[in-house]
Amino acid sequence: MNLLITGTSGLLGGRIAEYADSRGDTVFSGYLTHQPTFGLPLKLDITSPQSVSEAFRRARPDVVFHTAAITGVDRCEWERDLALQVNVEGTRNVAEAARDAGAYLVFLSSDYVFDGSKGLYKEDDARNPVNFLGKTKVLAEDAVRSSGARHLVARTSFVFGSREARAEANFALWALRKLKAHAPFRVVSDQFITPTYDRNLVMMLFEAAERRLEGTLHLAGATRLSKYDFAFSIAKFFGLDWEVMIPSSRGEIGWIAERPTDSSLDTSRARALLENKPMEIGESLRRLREEIPG
């Protein structure tokens, strides 16, 4: 396949480029500031229609993975204009270019489109975000759907892996650093998620793209748990002292933006459709442990 990937300096975009490169695909790795490690580097500013058009002219993609976004939850609150420009207008530019090129588009959306009042959200549940990041993802989803491009909106949750990414949170590595420091630290116990191992997500994304699945699909981990329980599981798998963790409420952390109480995703549709199934947390952490030196 000829692939164009946006946001390859990020955790997920970089993993997609790495996997595609290993398969022998022709990979154009879009980036704004930091050159990617894998694929053919392609300077790309998604907020510029001209830059997007030029990238599509050069890459001539069959498939586009659009991962570029401002994902910092608090940052989106205090830089709303920038979040709208990148997350919404940038997505619109990519979607319209994909339509014009006849390319299939996979857009990465978020569990934060939901308000967290019930958890285990299905694909057709009502969206009602409680923070500005979630609002931009709702608007971006709508832009993709109205663009006329053949597409898949792939919602995911709390992606983690062994790879560091610039300006992007990776909770698993943060927790490991804290645990290894042997100093007490706070972990939220009243927010529930479905942590998603990056390599599992990439395999699901590629299967969906190869089959040209359309519509909306929840591609996340198979286990719902709190952030505290996720960190506890990391400590146990890596043989680290979990007693340094202090269970805390969201209100004690001092975040600017509200977080949904329970934004966990129901992945039953993905389990029914895909050969590459969403992983349980135990299997995800076992594989993560194999990637990280002792």
Percent of the chain with pLDDT strictly greater than 90: 93
Structural domains in the chain plus CATH codes:
2-159+196-218 (3.40.50.720), 170-193+224-263+280-291 (3.90.25.10)
CA distance 284 to 278: 9
Whether 187 contacts 142, CB under 8 Å: no
pLDDT digit string (tens) for 69-115?
A: 999 999 999 999 999 999 999 999 999 999 999 999 999 999 999 99
Q: Is the pLDDT of residue 167 over 70?
A: no
Give the pLDDT of residue 294.
Answer: 62
Q: Look over the chain and give the mean of its residue pLDDT values, rounded to a whole number.
A: 96
- Asked whether the predicted pLDDT for residue 142 surpasses 60, the reply is yes
User: What does the pLDDT look like over 9-31, one tens digit per residue?
Assistant: 899 999 999 999 999 999 999 99
